[in-house]
Amino acid sequence: MFRPAEEALVASPVSDVAIDPTNLDDVRELAAQLRVDSIRSSTSAGSGHPTSSMSAADVLAVLVARHLRYDWDTPHDPANDHLIFSKGHASPLIYSIFKAVGVVSDDELMTGYRRFGQRLQGHPTPILPWVDVATGSLGQGLPDAVGVALAGRFVDRASFRVWALCGDSEVAEGSIWEALDKAAYYQLSNLTAIFDVNRLGQRGPTEHGWDLDTYARRVEAFGCRALAVDGHDVEAIDRVLTEAQSSDRPTVILARTVKGEGFSEVADQEGWHGKPFPPDMAERAIAELGGERHLRVRGPLPAADAVRVTPSAGGVKVELPTYEVGKKVATRKAYGEALAAVGARPDVVALDAEVGNSTYSEDFGKVHPDRYFEMFIAEQQLIASSVGFSVRGYVPFASTFAAFFTRAYDFIRMAAISQANIRLAGSHAGVEIGADGPSQMALEDLAMMRAVHNSTVLYPSDAPSTAHLVAAMADRDGVVYMRTTRGAYPVLYGPDETFPIGGSKVLRSSDADTVTLVGAGVTLHAALEAAGKLAAEGIAARVIDLYSVKPVDGATLTDAATRTGGRIVVAEDHYVEGGLGGAVLEALANLGQPLRLVQLAVSNLPGSGTPTELLDAAGISAAHIADAARSLIGG
């Protein structure tokens, strides 16, 4: 009998019973239990998506009992299959599965779902060891699954399979089709997507309802195999899951289901998306489903002799490229050369979005072609594939123009929630790129990346600092972003310099300094030029290379501000909001003395022109930096 919320702490008196996975009648009972527990947990929590969970219960019962090769007691076994709920709002279903396999107790399901401080969160996250990636922002789980499958087929060369459950509403997202396109391109026969076609979305019918033929044509057009099935016919589900595993290309199972299946009051009825049943209604639903059960199931295990790959740096010593001081080298070029060198580590992979000859990630591909993956112009899949490689323990570096990461920002945000370790490199940043014009100019990227939870944001100004920071990125957890510059600028540092993340470099200083100039990337070179102009006038200026934007070197900034009377000029090839100036202001928020800061940044919509023209028009050239310093001193 259903236990209402006030009685949820009472342990169930019913004993656990192990089912026989070879008996499909037992599997049907398991599916009924998954529905019942989806209802119980969401009603107890007072929120959740029971009807979305109920539609997919039969498919998941068959998959978990008979096809998913997974050691639930050893979730990090590299030979395990991967099960990704792209349809993350169906969390009551996945948590009910965790109860059925015995890794989550009934009490936790009833008292921990969607509660503060508990691990059964509203949408699945990797706080649970059986969850690979955070889902809930729709259209992302399947793209992540493509990345996991890429790692399995081309780098691990292992036999595990990747299964992804998708809702029919989320297949309106373009990222789903990016994923299927790349899955077909790479012939990921180890990937099976399951579309839960239950006809109803959040506010009413989906775009194509139960029109499986339309879904099938689209799937096939992208180069994947489509298999239609009645999603409540256990025998038919078992057959198509078996058939999918013998395919020579990615398979999409189109399961025609009913939202709220098993409870006649809500089955195929609008208005029940994301709504738990009231306690009295839940009791009726559970009674109609045959009552509360506490069945246990364990499906097949990975083969004892399966390939098990645990990526590591392999003790390889990385020989970074070196550069002659004064020689002009673009930081994007240094990025590619350093990435190729870091690729000596067997755990490093690189991905690009068809601009590898501009980001110079192609340098990696020339040396390590077996670990270089082209995502073409599909930036969402670029990030998702990186997340998938991270799931498998690899160190992915993903590169494209900095401006185009904005298209994939939700994927970057979700990567942080997934606690993924991914490295991103954005080239062609700022007005410095010149004649291409504003559509190509990343002027928001520093703010965007700084806002990501636990992110690291780097902005080197020359080739040696770029190379050293690329090596540091490989060992850095979380989302790590490097901004590189299109143009070539003089090498500033010798081969023995170090560049710890969170640090900075003071390039000019004296006891007579009266103003501090802060720059990064192209504006550092402008700041050095401005300091030279000021020195000729008898004005001593301290110059800081703030190559680590997050975390920022607050100690060096505070010391400089203190020694120069709180007079600071920050110049950045970025919009005013959220970039270098914001990082400096946050670091100096508690300076303890008056702060007189001038922030030079791009404030107007730029157009085409030469880099020199555009930097000057934006007010971030050496002349403007010198003028700002003079105004602070004169004021």
Write out the catalytic residue numbers. 379
Answer for the pair 57, 29: CB distance below 8 angstroms, yes or no.
Answer: no
Q: Which two tokens stand for residue 608?
A: 């085409």
Which residue(s) pair with 319 in the sheet?
Answer: none
> What is the CB-side half-sphere exposure of residue 213 using CA atoms within 13 A?
0
Determine the Cα–Cα distance for residues 565 and 39; give it in Å rounded to an integer: 65
- Kindly list the strands in the beta sheet with 251-256, ordered across the sheet, starting from the edge strand earlier in the chain: 82-85, 162-167, 191-197, 251-256, 225-230
- Residue in 6, 87, 93 with CA at minimum distance from that of residue 41: 93
Determine the Cα–Cα distance for residues 141 and 388; give it in Å rounded to an integer: 10
Burial class (CB in 10 A: 0-12, 13-18, 19+), 344: middle
- Residue in 441, 439, 411, 416 with CA at minimum distance from that of residue 426: 441
Local structure of residue 16 (DSSP, 8 states): P
Tell me the C-alpha to C-alpha distance, in Å, between residue 205 and each of 6, 88, 550: 35, 19, 45
Which residue(s) pair with 350 in the sheet?
Answer: 372, 397
Determine the Cα–Cα distance for residues 62 and 242; give it in Å rounded to an integer: 11
Answer for the pair 41, 96: CB distance below 8 angstroms, yes or no.
Answer: yes
Burial class (CB in 10 A: 0-12, 13-18, 19+), 38: buried
Determine the Cα–Cα distance for residues 621 and 385; give it in Å rounded to an integer: 39
* Per-residue buried b or exposed e for 224-251, using 16+ beta carbons within 10 Å of the residue's own CB: bbbbbbebbebebbbebbeebeeeeebb
Determine the Cα–Cα distance for residues 209 and 207; give it in Å rounded to an integer: 6
Tell me the C-alpha to C-alpha distance, in Å, between residue 397 and each of 336, 339, 365, 372, 389: 11, 8, 12, 10, 10
Determine the Cα–Cα distance for residues 569 and 600; give it in Å rounded to an integer: 7
Find the radius of gyration of the CA atoms of the chain: 28
